[in-house]
Structure 1
Amino acid sequence: MRRVGDNDSVTSLGNTTTEGFRSGFACFIGRPNVGKSTLMNALVGSKVAITSSRPQTTRRAIRGIVHRPNAQLVVVDTPGLHKPKTLLGERLDSLVRSTLTEVDVIGFCVPADQPVGPGDKFIARELANVKKTPIIAIVTKTDIATPQQVAEQLLAVGRLGEFADIVPCSAADGFQVDLVGDLLIQRLPEGMALYPEGDLTDEPEQVMIAELVREAALEGVRDELPHSIAVVVDEMAPREGRTDLVDIYAHLYVERSSQKGIIIGHKGERLRAVGAAARKQIEALLGTRVYLDLRIKVLKDWQRDPKQLRRLGFYD
């Protein structure tokens, strides 16, 4: 993982670092749907990763940048580690494992409202093989658990392995989110800022827009459909002669014709709702009005097809 500034002058970032300034990378790992993306957004203070109640929403290693007066923390949100059933799943698991070797500190997320299960134990065993990187266990979603559940979960997580710290938090109501940031930053090396002040992510705008469309499409769909949805922005440009309007053309890809019908909905109602929800988020991201044109295309079994995975941006 290249750190911005490794081979550049300090002035290229527009600032200098003072003695004691810390900077580096942390990643969140956990089984699907334990609140990793929501926690990263809370730390950054802005939405840089999409969230959903659907497991395995995250498909990329998204970086969110946390700025402090004495530190800069780059949080890498990874897909949920799980037993893969497709080539896409295998690549996502590989992405998680490679990220673990590239960061300065790891946050192991376990939800407070659910008993420790096989998935958590599996990840704990994986983390036991990470010898030199400090690991902080984070008990998430305390806002939807009772105090007794939280206390019991802290004890249960403590039995999963050796951790530098164990901390409960809630990204939803902000409980101890800053403390999580403090504990991660304490484990970073001293060094200059890696990104310019004000940057919240290094994700390209078109990738973020595609993710916002996918987030809107995930809401209210059947259980078997979420993993079959992929989104690609084909074209994005200011409208000719207009400074207040951006035209965006994107494709939603599914694996079967029946899934296409689900996304479109009765007389196109669902697709219009997806477009309206996504457009609102995209306009907030870009700070301008947006014309969003969504089309749907079937790519049969794309999650298992190496050629189609490359086409959709999931590389080896």
Structure 2
Amino acid sequence: MKKKWCAVVAAAALTLGPLAACSDQGVGATPADAAGQQVEQPFAIFRGASLGAVDYAQLKVLNQCLADKGYPQNLQVMLAAPRNPFPQLIVTEKTFGPASEEEARRDGFGQDEPAIPPSVVSFDPNYDRASEQCSEDAWKKLSANAKKVYYSYFDLGNSLSMPFHLTVNERMGRARWTKLLSCLADKGYRTNDEDAFYRFPDPGLFGVPIGAGAEDPAASWTPKGVPGTVEVGPATPARKYRPSAQESDLAVAWFRCRRDTGIAKDQMDLVMQVQRGLVAKNESELTELNPQIEQIAKQAATLIGQA
């Protein structure tokens, strides 16, 4: 019996650490220069939206092909619009914790989560063969080199994101984190694992109960696995994050300490520095691939009628 889990997207970006998961994934505040003007971040050169558009179009054509062959499940449950597969490359002040006292009170260290389509699981070898063929046909409909460019650009995204947050954290240095720990201790918060905090400053290390979103019905779903069938699991609905009262209090202290010690500004300054270095390191790939991924994204929009 062959079991095949069909991903909702062609590939998945890596997540980097607990505070990265707390990031506001929208295009939010960027560092300001001495005159108070917003400064575009170096990572803006990475065309994540174009990559998401290519991914979405390939998936939509693939799923329509499957539906035409008698397997409508994927088409019925796929997302209604593209998503940037590298949201962690969009950095705001909230990436490293609450950006205001109001936000700290309301959200703690969490954020609301968007809905996630259900998994489609195949135990049907005919479906598997159709899926593989439809996938290749979909890439070719985009362009002759779409598949190669897509995966090359995805690798480029990983080359930027994998070292990014860890490098920023390392360059912050032990002295700055000691200042943060000292400030938090003055407010009654002491970490239960100081060594771990120095490796990555996680607010979860202070023994404070953390809130949660609604239960995810997909987490406990197990397919029946009947040969010759294709199963659709439960969707994960959009979830509202609700912090515990203790978490909100810690989040307020965390915000104030980051602001008062200057760590918030230092960290955003280092974000710019590290981004510049990573962009320079990958400059040749960005120069080569950016116009290609943008052109394929235009072709993708035309192909699925979103131009």
Q: Could you say whether these structures have the same fold, taking a TM-score greater than 0.5 normalized by the shorter chain as the test?
A: no
RCO greater where, 1 or 2, for CA within 8 Å and sep 6 or more? 2
Over alpha carbons, which structure has the higher Rg?
2
Structure with greater proportional strand content: 1
- TM score, norm. by length of structure 1: 0.27
